[in-house]
């Protein structure tokens, strides 16, 4: 893995490379010339190949030195593959079975070979089709509670925590993408912005003129930049989650860094809420997707409630980090105060979560990267109606924070807008 050895491995070069790795060669099986290699990358940044042999399959992800969605004019460091590998490895320890196993990593090539997730599909596609995933809330809340709690000052010594921050601090180019594309560009004129014109022209202009919103989103941006609470996935939307009827796997943690926990939890909630608002645009007959929509809002509540329950459970059982020294909370009186403080902590985390969910929603409607929940609504007017409802809720969640003190406030506001 010498530095300077980077080259993009397209099909033929990838075949030769994999054929030279004995473990992978055995896993795939058969003659390397017979392996089926398909590029399946549908993401914004990287190449992903699925390779299948006589015996088994693998997924191969390689970072490009630029943003795939935009092209070579927008360079992006290959080191993101290193951070993705580091995060995947850490998540596998903390939340076993909820991420694909890493089979091989080459730093110089910015390449990672993973377990092939099959027959899993990208969750967002399932949501567009109106599919319910009964195990999703349980799995994603286990993933978030464990990865966030266990990398925080509630669980770690001060030294361990700061080592963790340092290990991911170099991933700042990916953070900058979030800082610009999520927290800044949708609120100003920016070349990369787009929206469903002409229907949302007025809403786009009103966002650019809304100083309450600009203050709120800038506060969230500052929190994102200056609050290394825990190791975040950093891009936890429903396009980074692969599912079957009974399994959930989280992929694509290349945006991982130490940031505010509410950013990950808010990402999941935002994407469920967008699936909810988009649903009306996918129905062929009125009310056809009512059961799905009710389920999605149930999941919004369950994701927050189960996350909070699991996080608190971990804190009570494993809260041996340096932040709340046991010695300061002795006896019954100490235990009672500490428990009240835990509840207050979750309330603050909820407020952050609501704000980040709102920011994640607005960027998908006015910024560079849109999502298929809305994009696959062919009728632009229908799409704009769904998008405008989502933006209305998001604007309220970001600015009228006092009106959203519990998750039921979010779901009942969503229901009223539908």
Instruction: Note the residues at the interface with ligand ADP (CB under 6 A).
Output: 40-46, 48, 59, 61, 100, 114-117, 122, 240, 251-252, 254
Select 254 or 293, whichever has its Cβ closest to ligand ADP.
254
The tokens for 118 are 């099959």
Q: Using an 8 Å Cβ cutoff, are 56 and 28 in contact?
A: yes
The tokens for 416 are 């009223």
Instruction: From the list Mg ion, ligand ADP, none, pick the one residue 321 interacts with, judged by a Cβ distance below 5 to 8 Å according to partner type.
Output: none
Q: Quote the least distance from Cβ 283 to ligand ADP, whole Å.
A: 25
Give, to the nearest 10 degrees, the angle between helix 80-94 and helix 158-168: 140
CA distances from 325 to 3, 146, 154, 330, 334 (A): 44, 21, 9, 10, 11
Residue 193 phi, psi dihedral angles, 5° rounding: -65, 150
Select 17 or 187, whichever has its Cβ closest to ligand ADP.
17
Which helix (H) or strand (E) segment holds residue 48: the answer is strand 46-52
Q: Using CA atoms of 333, 336, 342, 345 in order, give the dihedral in degrees to the nearest 10.
A: -70
What CA–CA distance (Å, rounded) separates 92 from 251?
Answer: 11
Select 19 or 369, whichever has its Cβ closest to ligand ADP.
369
Q: Quote the least distance from Cβ 276 to Mg ion, whole Å.
A: 14
Residue nearest to ligand ADP (CB): 43
Q: Quote the least distance from Cβ 88 to ligand ADP, whole Å.
A: 10
Select 124 or 364, whichever has its Cβ closest to Mg ion.
124
Contacting positions for Mg ion (CB under 5 A): 43, 45, 122-124, 238-239, 252, 254
**Which residues neighbour 414 within 8 Å (Cβ) at sequence distance 6 or greater?**
273, 276, 277, 297, 300, 393
Select 177 or 213, whichever has its Cβ closest to ligand ADP.
177
Instruction: From the list Mg ion, ligand ADP, none, pick the one residue 186 interacts with, judged by a Cβ distance below 5 to 8 Å according to partner type.
Output: none
Q: Quote the least distance from Cβ 252 to Mg ion, whole Å.
A: 4
Instruction: From the list ligand ADP, Mg ion, none, pick the one residue 117 interacts with, judged by a Cβ distance below 5 to 8 Å according to partner type.
Output: ligand ADP
Q: Edge to edge, what strands does the sheet with 111-115 contain?
A: 36-39, 46-52, 57-63, 111-115, 102-106
Instruction: From the list ligand ADP, Mg ion, none, pick the one residue 123 interacts with, judged by a Cβ distance below 5 to 8 Å according to partner type.
Output: Mg ion
Q: Quote the least distance from Cβ 371 to ligand ADP, whole Å.
A: 12
Q: Quote the least distance from Cβ 233 to ligand ADP, whole Å.
A: 12
Instruction: From the list ligand ADP, Mg ion, none, pick the one residue 238 interacts with, judged by a Cβ distance below 5 to 8 Å according to partner type.
Output: Mg ion
Tokens 């369950």, residue located: 302
Q: Quote the least distance from Cβ 390 to ligand ADP, whole Å.
A: 22
The tokens for 343 are 């509840």
Residue 231 phi, psi dihedral angles, 5° rounding: -75, 110
Buried b (16+ CB within 10 A) or exposed e, 276-315: bbbbbbbeeeeeebeebbebbbebbbbbbebbbebbbebb
Select 117 or 349, whichever has its Cβ closest to ligand ADP.
117
Instruction: From the list Mg ion, ligand ADP, none, pick the one residue 100 interacts with, judged by a Cβ distance below 5 to 8 Å according to partner type.
Output: ligand ADP
Select 229 or 252, whichever has its Cβ closest to ligand ADP.
252
DSSP code at position 100 = P
Q: Quote the least distance from Cβ 82 to Mg ion, whole Å.
A: 14
Instruction: From the list ligand ADP, Mg ion, none, pick the one residue 361 interacts with, judged by a Cβ distance below 5 to 8 Å according to partner type.
Output: none
């Amino acid at each position: 893995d010498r530095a300077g050895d980077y080259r993009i491995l397209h099909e033929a070069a990838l075949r030769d490379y994999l054929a030279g790795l004995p473990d992978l060669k055995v896993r795939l099986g058969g003659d390397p010339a017979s392996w089926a290699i398909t590029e399946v990358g549908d993401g914004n940044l990287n190449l992903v190949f699925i390779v299948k042999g006589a015996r088994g399959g693998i997924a191969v992800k390689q970072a490009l030195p630029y943003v795939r969605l935009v092209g070579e004019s927008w360079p992006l460091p290959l080191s993101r593959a290193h951070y993705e590998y580091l995060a995947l490895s850490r998540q596998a320890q903390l939340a076993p079975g909820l991420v694909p196993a890493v089979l091989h990593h080459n730093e110089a090539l910015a390449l990672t070979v993973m377990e092939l997730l099959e027959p899993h599909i990208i969750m967002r596609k399932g949501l567009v089709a109106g599919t319910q995933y009964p195990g999703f809330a349980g799995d994603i809340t286990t993933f978030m509670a464990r990865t966030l709690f266990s990398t925080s000052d509630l669980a770690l010594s001060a030294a361990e925590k700061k080592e963790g921050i340092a290990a991911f601090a170099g991933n700042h180019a990916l953070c900058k993408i979030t800082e610009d594309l999520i927290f800044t560009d949708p609120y100003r004129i920016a070349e990369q912005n787009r929206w469903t014109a002409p229907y949302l022209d007025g809403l786009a202009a009103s966002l650019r003129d809304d100083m309450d919103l600009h203050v709120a989103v800038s506060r969230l941006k500052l929190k994102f930049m200056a609050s290394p609470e825990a190791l975040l996935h950093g891009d936890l939307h429903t396009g980074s989650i692969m599912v079957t009827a009974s399994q959930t796997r989280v992929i694509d943690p290349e945006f991982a860094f130490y940031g505010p926990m509410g950013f990950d939890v808010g990402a999941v909630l935002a994407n469920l809420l967008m699936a909810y608002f988009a649903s009306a645009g996918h129905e062929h007959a009125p009310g056809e997707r009512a059961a799905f929509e009710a389920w999605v809002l149930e999941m919004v509540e369950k994701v927050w409630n189960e996350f909070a329950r699991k996080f608190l459970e971990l804190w009570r059982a494993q809260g041996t980090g340096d932040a709340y020294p046991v010695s300061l909370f002795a006896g019954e009186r100490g235990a009672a105060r500490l428990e009240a403080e835990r509840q207050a902590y979750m309330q603050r985390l909820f407020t952050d979560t609501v704000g980040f969910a709102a920011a994640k929603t607005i960027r998908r409607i006015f910024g560079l990267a849109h999502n298929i929940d809305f994009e696959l609504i062919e009728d632009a007017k229908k799409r704009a109606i769904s998008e405008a409802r989502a933006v209305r809720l998001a604007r309220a969640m970001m600015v009228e924070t006092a009106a959203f003190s519990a998750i039921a406030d979010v779901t009942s506001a969503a229901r009223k807008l539908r």
